[in-house]
A and B are shown apart, each in its own frame.
Chain A
Amino acid sequence: MIEVRKPTMSLGRTASDPDRSPKAVATKGSVVALDARLEQATLYERQRALRALLKCPLLSADDSHTTEFGLVRRYAAWLRDWFARNLDWKLQVDGETARLRKTPADLADGTRPARDSKSAAPFTRRRYVILCLALAVLERSDRQTTLGRLAEEIVAATRADSALAAAAVTLDLANFDQRRDLVQVMRLLLEFRVLVRVHGDEQQYLHEKGDVLYSVNRPALAGMLNVKRGPSTITAGPLDECIFAMVEEPVPNTDDARNRRLRAQLMRRLLDDPILYYHALDDSERAYLTSQRGRLLREIEQATGLIAEVRREGIAMVDNRGDLSDVALPEEGTDGHLALLLAEYLADHVRQDGGMPVGSAALYRHVADLIAQHRSHGRKAVADAGAEVTLTDHTIDRLAALRLVQRTSDGVIPLPAIARYTLRDADDPASESEDTTQDFLGEEA
C-alpha cells in the first residue's frame, strides 16, 4: 500500500510493490509540480496587478479595469508592502478605488501630459488651471453639483484671484472653445471617478442646450493631489524650486536611510521611465547601482515581469506583454510605424557616427521619402503637402518621450539606446516572399 502524502495525489495502485521509493518520488513530484504551478499563477496575477497600478495609478471598480482592480484588492497587502519597501510609494486601497501615490523620480520630464480621453490631445496650460480650480471648488461643494453651478463658481474664483487675473487666465462661458476646455476637464474628472454623472450629457452643455448633474466622490477627490508639502506653504519662485519643494521628502541623516532613499530613487526611475542612462546619475547613485544592480533588477523582474536590458550606457526595463506603457516602440498604427522607421534611420546614424546631431532638414527630407514610400499603409492625412513637418515633430516628440533621442535647438541627438532599432540583415524586404503565404500573426503581440 502506498503511503499517501496528499490525498488528491495518490496514484491508487492496489498491487503491492517491493520498491516504494520511485512511486513516492513520483507522488511528491506531482505535489511539487502542483505547488509550483499555483505559485506561478499567483506570481503572474501579482505581476498583472502591479502592472495595472503602474499604468493607471488610480484604478476603480467599475470601468474597463474591473479584473485588474479585483486582483489589486486581492493582493493589496503584498502590493502595499512591496511598494513601501522598495519604492517608498504609498498605496491606498479601499472598496471602490485603488490609488498608488506615484512620486516621480525624474522631475524634469515634461512628456507625460494629462490627456483627453476621447481625442488623446494633451492638456494645455489653461486646462490645467481650470482643473485645479474645479478641484478647489469641488472641495467646498455639497454631495451633488451641476456643471453649470461649477462653471459659475470657477468663473468667480478666476475673478477673485489677482494672480490669475494678472496672468490673463479667464473663463468666458460664452466662448465655445473655453466651454470645451471645461467639458474636457470634467471628462478627466469623470475618468478618475472624482465625479459620477447622474443625469445629463456634456455634449448638451457644450452646445448650451442642457446641464449635467454630478455627484461628488469625496475619497477620490481627496486622493487626487499627491504632494509632500502643500503648495500654499511654499513661497513662489522659479518653477524648478517649487516642484522640488513640493515633492521633497526629508531624509534622516543615517547611512541606512540614505541607502534606502538611493535605492528607492533608482527603483522609481527603473520602473517609471523607459531608460536609465548612467550619465544621468550622480556618483553615490552610480556606486549604489553598481554594487546592487543584480539584486535590484531581479526584484523588479520578479515583481513586474519586465526584463532588464543592461548595457554599457544604461539599463532599460523592457516589456514583452504590451500592457504597461502608454507609448511604446514598436507599436501598431501610423504613428508607431513612422516612429519605427525614423528610429531605424537614426539608429543607422548612431551606429556609424556616434552621438552626432542630425539636423532637422535632413529629418524632414527623410520623412518625406518615407511617406512617399509607405503612403498606402498610413492615414489619409499623411499624404498632405507639408505634412512631413508636423509629422516629424510629432514623431520626434514620441522618440524623445521614450528617451531615444534628445532634442536640440536645430535637430536631434540620437541617444545610444536607439541602436536597438537598427534594421537587421535578416529582416530585409527580400525575405518577405515567405510572408505572403503565411497568414498568422507574425509575433506575439
Chain B
Amino acid sequence: MSDSTTTNGRLKAFAYLNAEKACLYRAVMRVFTDAKARFALHLRPQEIVEALVATDEAVSLDEASRLDPENIEAALNQLCEWGNLASHADTTDVATVEEFYRPRHLFQITRSGEAAEQALAVYRRALRESGELQAAALSDIRALLGELVQSAALGEPDEAKVHRTLSLLRTRFGELTSKAQTFIGSLQRTIDLHEKDVQAFLSYKETLIEYLERFIGELVLATADIAETLQKLDTSRMDNLLRIAAHRDLTDAVAPTDEDHAAAIATWHTRWDGLRRWFINAPDRPSQAEILRARARSAIPALLSAVAGINERRINRSDRSADLRTLARWFAATDSDTEAHRLWRAAFGLTPARHLRIDQRTLDERDANPVSAQESWLTSPPLCITPRLRKSGRYTRRGRPNHVIDCTEEKARLAQAAAAEAAQTEAARRRLATGRRMQLSEIGELDPAAFDLFLDLLGEALTARGHRNKQIETTSSDGAICIELTPTGNGRCAIIKTSIGYFRGPDHFVVIQDRFAPGGDDSRSSAPSAAEGGDAGTALSCEVGS
C-alpha cells in the first residue's frame, strides 16, 4: 500500500463510510457507480444533484445532509481529498460572468473509489448469501485434474487449454472453500442462536443431517481420488504447466518485466500448493479436507444437543418461574419461622416421615399380653427402656473395649491330644496290617485302638460278604487298608483277648495289608488255604465277658 492512500494506517478510501455525513457520501458514491455502469465517466455537480433527487436518496438523507449546492460541493471536495473522486477543471462554455468566476469542476470516480464501492458491494452480497457445501464442485475439480494429467503427459501441451483448466480449477476451488466456510459458520450460528423456531428447527434438523451426510460421503470419495491424481502430477511437470499458465497470464499486460513473470509464477505455485494441501495429508497436520470433514461431522452432535436443549426447555412450564416468585413473596410475608416451615412442607413435600420407636422386648411382651384397643395410654404398660439408655443416653457402654481372650494354651493342649490319637492309630495299624496271612486265632491279644480298627475291618468284610463260606476281599472305608477274609472251615473257634472282654468267632484266614505302606502289595504269604468242604458256618459273634 502506498502512503498516499493511508493516514496512520487507516485506509482513506474507506473513511467516508464512518464519517459524520456518511449517508450523503454513500449516496454520492452510489450515483457515481450507477453512472459508471452507464459508461458515463464525468459528472457535474448539477447532474449529481439531479440524480440524487431522481432516486429516492433524498428521503433517506437527514437534515445535516440537505441537498443544497454548498453541501454537495463540500461533500465532493471531501471525497476528492480522501481519494475516492478526482476533480478536473470544467472547460465547457458558460453563459454568464458569475458562472465563469465560480470554480467549476468535473468529477470522476477514481480507481480506489471504484474499488471501495466494489468492496462494499461484495460485503453486502456476502452478508445476504447463504453458504453451501458444494459436492458438485468436487466432481468438477476431479474432472479438471484429469484434464491436467492429460495435458502434462503431452510433450507440448496446448497453452490456452492449460491456462483455462488451471483458471477454472482455481475459481471452482475458491468457490468451494468460501462457500463451505460460510456454510459451516452459519451452521454454528444457527445452532448457537436457535434462529429458527422450534418446529422449523426440528424439520430443518432432518434435512440438514441428510445434507451433511451426503456431502461427507462425497468428500471422502473425492478426496481419495483427487489425492491420487495429485500424486500423479509430480513437481517437474507441474512446474512446466504453471510456467505456461503464468506466461499466458501476462500476455496481455502492457510491459511485463521479469519481476512480473517471477511474481506470476510464484502466485501460481502458491495456488497449486494450496490445492495440494487441501487434499493431501502432511505428517504434521491434517489436510483441509479432513478438517472440513471433521467440522461437518461434529456439526451433527452439536445439532442434536441443541435439539436436546430445546426439549429440555419444553419440560418447563413457563409459569413455574412465576409460581416460585409468588412463593418467595409468601415466604417473605410469613409471621414466624414456624409458619414458614408450614409453607415449606405444603409447597414442596420433601419432608421425612416421623414415628415413635419401639423395641423388640416390648413387642414380645405385648405379644404375650396383648393390650386391648379400648385401653388408654395412661393405663397401658409403658415401653421397656434399658437402664443403661436411661442412665447415660447410650445403648453401648462407653470406655475401653474388652480384651480379646487368649486361647493359646487350650489350643496347644488340643493339638497334643490330636497328635497322641494319631500316634495310637498309627501303632494299631502297624500291629494289624502286616500283610501276612494269619488265622484269627493267632492274633491273641489286641489293645483298644487296634481292636477298634480290627472290628471296623471285620465289619466291612462281613457286610460285603454275601454267602457265608465265600472268600471276601475288600477295603476299609477310607481305602487305605485291604482285608481278605477266608473261612478256615475247620470248626475251630478263634478267641481274641481285649481289655474289655473276649472276642469269639469262627476261625478265618485273614490277610490285612496297608495299601499305602512301602512294599505292601506283594507280601502275601503263600500258605495254602485249608478250605475243606464242610459247612461249619456258625455266625461270628462277639461275647463281651471277662
Contact = CB atoms under 8 A, between A and B. Distances in A.
B356 A122 contact: no
Contacts of A275: 356
Given A312-B376, A377-B391, A443-B361, A111 B382 contact: no
B106 to A, nearest CB: 61
Interface residues of B, number: 73
Contacts of A135: 324
Interface in B21-50: none
Contacts of B392: 337, 374, 377
A239 B393 contact: no
B337 to A, nearest CB: 6
Contact of B358 (A104, A109, A320, A431): A320
Given A139-B324, A246-B347, A374-B393, A416 B376 contact: yes
Contact of B320 (A225, A416, A420, A444): A225
A324 B350 CA distance: 14
B450 to A, nearest CB: 35
A311 interface: yes
Nearest to B311: A218
Interface in B329-362: 329-335, 337-361
Given A420-B382, A427-B387, A444 B359 contact: yes
Given A129-B328, A318-B358, A324 B346 contact: no
B346 A246 contact: yes
A397 to B, nearest CB: 10
Tell me which of B343, B346, B376 has the highest count of chain A C-beta atoms within 10 A of its own C-beta. B346
Nearest to A229: B323
Tell me which of B319, B338, B340, B392 has the highest count of chain A C-beta atoms within 10 A of its own C-beta. B340
A167 B333 contact: yes
Contacts of A247: 346
A312 B354 contact: no
A439 B344 CA distance: 45
Interface stretch (A2-10, A21-29, A54-62, A356-364): A54-62
Contacts of A317: 355
B189 interface: no
A327 to B, nearest CB: 6
B390 interface: yes
Contacts of B344: 112-114, 123, 128
Nearest to B343: A243
Interface string A54-79: 11111000000000000000000000
A204 interface: no
Nearest to A442: B386
Interface string B298-315: 000000000001001001
A104 to B, nearest CB: 5
A350 interface: yes
Given A167-B333, A340-B390, A417-B377, A125 B357 contact: no
Nearest to B347: A227
Contacts of B380: 311, 419
A125 B332 contact: yes
B382 A336 contact: no
Interface string B316-330: 100111111111111
A219 B316 CA distance: 9
A420 B352 contact: no
B345 A378 contact: no
Contacts of A163: 329, 332-333
Contacts of A416: 376-378
A226 B378 CA distance: 39
Contacts of B397: 439
A128 B378 contact: no
Contact of B360 (A136, A320, A331): A320
Contacts of B443: none
Contacts of A378: 393
B354 A326 contact: yes
B349 A103 contact: yes
A108 interface: yes
B344 to A, nearest CB: 6
Interface string B499-541: 0000000000000000000000000000000000000000000
Interface string B417-445: 00000000000000000000000000000
Given A101-B349, A123-B340, A421-B383, A239 B334 contact: yes
Given A110-B338, A132-B331, A330-B383, A231 B396 contact: no
5 contacts: A103-B346, A157-B325, A328-B355, A419-B378, A420-B356
Given A219-B315, A230-B326, A432-B387, 18 more contacts: A57-B350, A108-B342, A112-B345, A113-B340, A113-B341, A128-B331, A163-B333, A192-B350, A311-B376, A320-B359, A324-B352, A330-B357, A337-B389, A337-B394, A340-B389, A340-B390, A427-B384, A427-B387
